[in-house]
Amino acid sequence: MAEFSIDRFVDSYARRAAGMTASEVRALFAVAARPDVISLAGGMPFVQALPSSEVIAVATEVLTDMGDTALQYGDGQGTPALRERLAMLMAEEGVIADPEGVVVTTGAQQALDLIGKIFIDPGDLIAVEAPAYVGALTAFGAYEPRYLPIELDDDGMIVEQLEQALVRGERPKFVYTVPNFGNPAGVTMSYDRRRQLVTLCREAGIPIIEDNPYGLLRFEGEPVPCLRSLDPDNVIYLGTVSKTFSPGVRVGWALAEPSVVQRLILAKEAADLCGSSLNMLLTERWFSDETRWRGTLNGLVDAYRSRRDAMLGALDEHLPDGALWTHPQGGFYVWVTMPEWLDAKALLAAAVERRVAYVPGTAFYPDGRGTNKLRLAFCYPTEERIHEGVSRLGALLREEEQLYRSLQG
């Protein structure tokens, strides 16, 4: 008799690898990626809107003028010129940044991992929005935290819940939030809530991680000051060029206090020595021409606004009574809440069969909540496809409602 082990290292893996498993949802996404499926699932930026001839020109320029530097290892913190550009980008949103406080990372996603690495010991409590960005949950998850989920309403994080938790004696290592057009909920934290949050965290001595990938993608309304500008000392700010330029260059950053910066650089160097010199130079060059980057960004904002409008219109037209959804003023996502009986994860198979896909809400909660929620992304599909996709989804949800009623006898 033989015991067959498919994976002979199975007893060697770390505990943190336990959650890295195959899943039905991933299997369905493999089908959802087919062109005949209208995917409202992935948050892929609309890179086709980038002026490709200009990108090619910039890339050529970089390799021609600075080939030796571009093809060599670079600075662990990121090139000084790029950090200056990124400081300039942050100033667009009222964040005053010293380039010395910036650490360039491989997308803001790496910054999340590095934050987890330097702040979280196994079992530590961290406060996250509920729902929260799934990539943050997986990045932090590798460091085995416990979660303190703080719910959202139309004004963003319900800070009172955090306050009550602190009164109860809970003490999170940090508070993580995406305050502008958050992923997945698409809501923006109000000014009052921001003041309330920074005051509470300052008094309690709990750092805030402000993740702001979408801030410059505002379609309407007045920008709300960043948390970092409200309390520079207690907020670690994360940014990215993935939404304003290209996710393919993988350039993100963290802005923090010198003591944190030092640890982030050491952690970053331990992870990958330095970011891609070529991509850092390319990004720096891209943002050196103000007309170019602003023109591109404005074009993107216009495109996303039209797509958002298309989605909100289609939802009005096709979703059954009882469905609620957010009205994002920017960003990529609409968050749909169905009545309690809906299991969005179970329904995904039927949705993919009808050639439409979304992300089931449970992915965005650390505790299994969100079964009746769906995240819909309007960033990538054309307006026509958005209409068709939402129409397919609406028909399916109506049938599901009918099925539910019939099961009630």
Partner 1 sequence: MSGMRIAVIAGGRTPERDVSIRGGHRVTASLIALGHDAWLVDPADVKLVEALRERTPDLCWLALHGKEGEDGTIQRLLDLLKISYTGTPAFDCELAFDKVLAKDVLRRAGVPTPDWVVIEGWALRDLGAGAALSTALERIGLPCVVKPSRSGSALGMSAVEREADLAGAVMGALSFSGAAIVERMIRGTEIAAGFVGTAMEALPLVEIVPKGGVYDYGARYTAGATEYFVPARLDAGVAETVRQATREAIEALGMHGVGRVDVLVTAEGAPSVLEANVSPGMTETSLLPMAAQAAGMSFEQLCDHIIRADHLR
Binding site for partner 1 (CB under 8 A): 1-7, 9-10, 13, 20-24, 27-28, 30-31, 34, 36, 341, 343, 346-350, 352, 399-400, 402-404, 406-409
Residues in the chain: 409
The amino acid present at 168, given as its one-letter code, is: R
Q: In the bound complex, what is the minimum distance in angstroms from residue 87's beta carbon to partner 1? A: 43
Q: In the bound complex, what is the minimum distance in angstroms from residue 389's beta carbon to partner 1? A: 17
Q: In the bound complex, what is the minimum distance in angstroms from residue 318's beta carbon to partner 1? A: 19
By the 8 A CB rule, do 42 and 380 touch? yes
7 or 220: whose CB is closer to partner 1? 7
> Rounded to an integer, what distance in angstroms lies between the CA atom of residue 372 and that of residue 150?
18
22 or 167: whose CB is closer to partner 1? 22
> Rounded to an integer, what distance in angstroms lies between the CA atom of residue 290 and that of residue 91?
14
Count other Cβ atoms within 10 Å, centred on residue 297.
18
Count other Cβ atoms within 10 Å, centred on residue 322.
13
159 or 359: whose CB is closer to partner 1? 359
16 or 327: whose CB is closer to partner 1? 16
Q: In the bound complex, what is the minimum distance in angstroms from residue 170's beta carbon to partner 1? A: 30
> Rounded to an integer, what distance in angstroms lies between the CA atom of residue 320 and that of residue 105?
43
By the 8 A CB rule, do 368 and 382 touch? no
Q: Are strands 208-211 and 359-360 parallel, antiparallel or unpaired?
A: unpaired
396-409 b/e (C-beta count within 10 Å ≥ 16 → b): bbeebbeeeeeeee
> Rounded to an integer, what distance in angstroms lies between the CA atom of residue 43 and that of residue 380?
7
Count other Cβ atoms within 10 Å, centred on residue 11.
7
What is the DSSP secondary-structure string of 111-173? Answer: HHHHHHHHH--TT-EEEEEES--HHHHHHHHTT--EEEEEEEETTEE-HHHHHHHHHTT---S
307 or 345: whose CB is closer to partner 1? 345
Strand partners, 208: 175, 235
Closest CA to 203 of 163, 263, 247, 170: 163
Q: In the bound complex, what is the minimum distance in angstroms from residue 392's beta carbon to partner 1? A: 14
Count other Cβ atoms within 10 Å, centred on residue 392.
19
Whether residue 247 has a cis bond before it, omega within 30° of 0: no
CA angle centred on 43, ends 38 and 44, rounded to 5°:
85
347 or 393: whose CB is closer to partner 1? 347
Q: In the bound complex, what is the minimum distance in angstroms from residue 211's beta carbon to partner 1? A: 29
Count other Cβ atoms within 10 Å, centred on residue 206.
18
Q: In the bound complex, what is the minimum distance in angstroms from residue 405's beta carbon to partner 1? A: 8
34 or 327: whose CB is closer to partner 1? 34
270 or 350: whose CB is closer to partner 1? 350
Look up residue 150 and give its two tokens. 């703080």
Q: In the bound complex, what is the minimum distance in angstroms from residue 349's beta carbon to partner 1? A: 5
Q: In the bound complex, what is the minimum distance in angstroms from residue 352's beta carbon to partner 1? A: 7
Whether residue 213 has a cis bond before it, omega within 30° of 0: no
27 or 273: whose CB is closer to partner 1? 27
Q: In the bound complex, what is the minimum distance in angstroms from residue 393's beta carbon to partner 1? A: 13
291 or 408: whose CB is closer to partner 1? 408
